[in-house]
Structures are given as C-alpha cells and as structure tokens.
Chain A
C-alpha cells in the first residue's frame, strides 16, 4: 500500500518541549516538503529537501529543524524556539521533474498546552 504516512495524528506538547513529527513515504519520491497550516489560512512552507542529506529553508523555518538521512524519511522537529507552534502540519512529496505533482500525507495536528 503506497503512500505518505505521518505520525502521530494528534500531538500535545507542553511549552518548552521539543517534539518530532514523523513523515515517511514509499513512493520513491525524490523531494519532500513540510508545510504548516493555521485555521482559515493557506499552506506555508517550512523546509524542503530535494535529495538525501540536503535540505533548504522555506518561508517560515525559524524554530524548526529537519533531517533527510534516508530517501523515505523527512522528520520535522518543532523546537521550544518556535513561538506559536499550535497548527496543522502537512508533509508532502513528489518526483523530480517539470510536470510532477505533489501529494500530501494525512497531517499531524499539534497543540501546545
């Protein structure tokens, strides 16, 4: 069963804690992305990675970190430096290429208590 999986589906964090969101894909996609969505708003890009061991900051990278040690995996860490982390986090992936399409995982809803 191919696709993009994210875990956990819901995550609760106390202020001052770091948390790591998992994203795995078995589509053999090259590029992977992390987005954040706040209520009533569009998606904002946090980080993206085109190949293993390489990643780039998106538009709102402050307070987040990522790694890309394997092609299938692109975990996102929300650090205590992120001032307003409560949001819906979406992972996406795509094959490299001009006409390729980007697909999303089911998302993780993070709430800071």
Chain B
C-alpha cells in the first residue's frame, strides 16, 4: 500500500462545477496535511494546509480532514479553466523520531476544467 494515495485521474469537470479531489494516507501518526497545485512545467504551489479534523475554507477551496478514516480531500467550488493543473496531496508526521518533519507526496491528480 502506498503511503499517500490520491484518486486516479484525470478528472474533468465543466466550468462552474465542484471538483472533488481525494487522498488517503497510511501513517496514523500523521498530523499535518497539505494540498499543492502544480501547473505544467512549474513548481508546486501551496494552496491549503489543514491540521484538525473538519473543514477549512479559503475562498473557493475547502479542505476536509478525517483522521479516523485517514482521509483528506480538497473541494474546488465554481471551478475555472485556470484551475486546470495537477493537484498534489502531501502528509507530514510532525517533529519526533527521525522523520525531521519531511513531507510524503501522493502521485497527483490531473484536473481539467473545460469551458
């Protein structure tokens, strides 16, 4: 089982729809969760971080975390063509042990928003 697994893509949604991106993780002691957006040929850009169970909203983006189910998701409301990118889920154990707080990434989900 992969440490961090994202729903297989590519995902295609019409403009104005809600895009739902999902991620599961295997390490129960994970404490910090991040979503990055990566445009083709560019480096990843942090768009959301979440640390507690529940929802966190920032503009059109909502991150949802359920530690009991080891599940984190990203919802993009009113999707725009400019949201078309690869979305990377990342998970981190916090300081302690030998992990040095390193991130473990999923393989990414390609999202296409069509007009």
Give A41 Cβ to nearest chain B Cβ, in Å: 6
**Residues of A close to B100: CB separation below 8 A:** 31, 48, 50, 56
A106–B51 CB distance below 8 A? no
Q: How far is the CA of A57 from the CA of B77 in the complex (A)?
A: 39
Q: Which of A61-113 contact B (CB under 8 A)?
A: 90, 94, 96-107
Nearest-CB residue, chain B, relative to A51 = B100
B107–A96 CB distance below 8 A? no
A45–B102 CB distance below 8 A? yes
**Residues of A close to B44: CB separation below 8 A:** 43, 90, 104
Q: How far is the CA of A83 from the CA of B88 in the complex (A)?
A: 26
Nearest-CB residue, chain A, relative to B100 = A50
Give A103 Cβ to nearest chain B Cβ, in Å: 6
> Which of B43, B46, B88, B102 lies in contact with A106, CB distance below 8 A?
B43
> Chain A: how many interface residues by the 8 Å CB criterion?
25
* A2 contacts the other chain (CB 8 A): no
A102–B31 CB distance below 8 A? no
A31–B101 CB distance below 8 A? yes
Q: How far is the CA of A100 from the CA of B107 in the complex (A)?
A: 22
Q: How far is the CA of A43 from the CA of B106 in the complex (A)?
A: 8
Give A15 Cβ to nearest chain B Cβ, in Å: 25
A96–B101 CB distance below 8 A? yes
Interface, chain A (partner B; CB < 8 A): 31, 33, 41-45, 48, 50, 56, 58, 90, 94, 96-107
29 A-B pairs whose Cβ atoms sit less than 8 Å apart in the complex: A31-B100, A31-B101, A33-B103, A42-B4, A42-B105, A42-B106, A42-B107, A43-B103, A45-B102, A45-B103, A50-B101, A56-B98, A58-B102, A90-B44, A94-B101, A96-B101, A98-B32, A98-B94, A100-B101, A101-B34, A101-B49, A102-B34, A102-B90, A102-B103, A104-B36, A106-B42, A106-B43, A107-B42, A107-B43
Q: Which 8 A-B pairs have the closest CB atoms?
A: A42-B105, A104-B43, A42-B107, A43-B105, A98-B94, A107-B43, A50-B100, A104-B44
